[in-house]
Amino acid sequence: MSKIVVVGSLNFDTSIHVPHLPAKGETIIASHLSLHHGGKGANQAVAIARLGGQVSFIGAVGNDENGHQLINGLKKAGVDTTGIAIKDNAHTGMAFVCVAHSGENNIIVYPGTNYRITKEDIDRNRPLITDADYCLLQLEIPFEIVRYVIGICHEAKVKVVLNPAPVSADFDDRILAHVDYILPNETELAMMVGESVTMENIGKLASSLLAKGCGHAIVTLGENGSFLVDPVRQEHFPAVKVKAVDTTAAGDSFIGAFTYRLASGDRIDEAIRFATKAAAITVTRHGAQDALPSLEEVKNWLVS
């Protein structure tokens, strides 16, 4: 089994369940509230570990109850947490998730210690990166850290999987020259290329990321599945139709499962199909990490 390292965010999530997502200025009553372990980086690491992958995590939490709970949760899932720095005098990252009865959501993230990770933290854990076969990153940590890690991966010939979420104004697309797989959703792709995404132009827009040096682009499209662009093909992969109750961790489930299957030796199309199934299971459950399936669950679901 190939080694995977995730460099990214850890958040303590507060999910508020509402009849519909509130409009500007609207006050609505929530039906219930729940607390979950989250953060894009942590979610993706747990997705990999729960499927049986060998995964290490590099990130930062505060020296507080939320931070210690998040570390313990990762350990319980089977993630190597030796690369997590504990920062004094700073709060662990938090996310506030509004979940509609339809399963749609919106999220506000307070970065906290996710923005306190430093190059020195990365250097202390450099062997976790250079010994890995794949490095998975997101953009809930400072962009300069993402760029620094990608540079280390390039020198060490470690394959880079980038989930460009959330995309912000400081995104420098020159890093794409050293990214092997990029997985934006359609909103993030639109922000990266400055143009609205449709099924008619998605191939052209995703191809523009390859023109900047990226090896493969997989655009996740929610209920419409995903779209692959690589040097030899453009292919749409339909979603599996299920009744969604919470889409909070759907993208993280897909990306973690995709990376796990690549590290297991799958072809890219096989990895996408497997990830599609894992994400479909995830949206039928509430929460983030709590919703991520095991390998046995995905295999059993595949043959059911």
What does the alpha-carbon distance between residue 304 and residue 125 come to, in Å, rounded to a whole number? Answer: 42
Full pLDDT tens readout for the chain, 304 residues: 799 999 999 999 898 999 999 999 999 999 999 898 999 999 999 999 999 999 999 999 999 999 999 999 999 999 999 999 999 999 999 989 898 988 788 888 899 999 999 999 999 999 999 999 999 999 999 999 999 999 999 999 999 999 999 998 778 999 999 999 999 999 999 999 999 999 999 999 999 999 999 999 999 999 999 999 999 999 999 999 898 888 878 999 999 999 999 999 999 999 999 999 999 999 998 877 888 999 999 988 755 4
Mention the CATH class of domain 3-9+39-91+113-303. alpha beta
194 is in an annotated binding site: no
State yes or no: is 252 an active-site residue. yes
- pLDDT in the model for residue 166: 92
Q: Which residues contact 220 (CB under 8 A, 6 or more apart)?
A: 183, 184, 185, 186, 226, 251, 254, 255
- pLDDT in the model for residue 304: 45
Amino acid at 125: N
282 is in an annotated binding site: yes
Q: What angle do CA 59, 152, 289 make, to 5 degrees?
A: 30
230 is in an annotated binding site: no
Give the strand pairing for 54-62 and 80-87.
Answer: parallel
251 is in an annotated binding site: yes
What does the alpha-carbon distance between residue 135 and residue 175 come to, in Å, rounded to a whole number? Answer: 14
42 is in an annotated binding site: yes
How many C-beta atoms surround the C-beta of residue 24 within 10 A? Answer: 4
- pLDDT in the model for residue 88: 96
The residues with which 84 forms a beta bridge, in sequence order, are 59
Contact status, residue 259 vs residue 218, Cβ threshold 8 Å: no
- pLDDT in the model for residue 302: 59
**Domain residue spans in the chain?**
3-9+39-91+113-303
| Catalytic-role residue among 88, 252, 266, 269 | 252
- pLDDT in the model for residue 80: 98
- pLDDT in the model for residue 15: 87
30 closest CA partner among 44, 40, 41, 20:
20
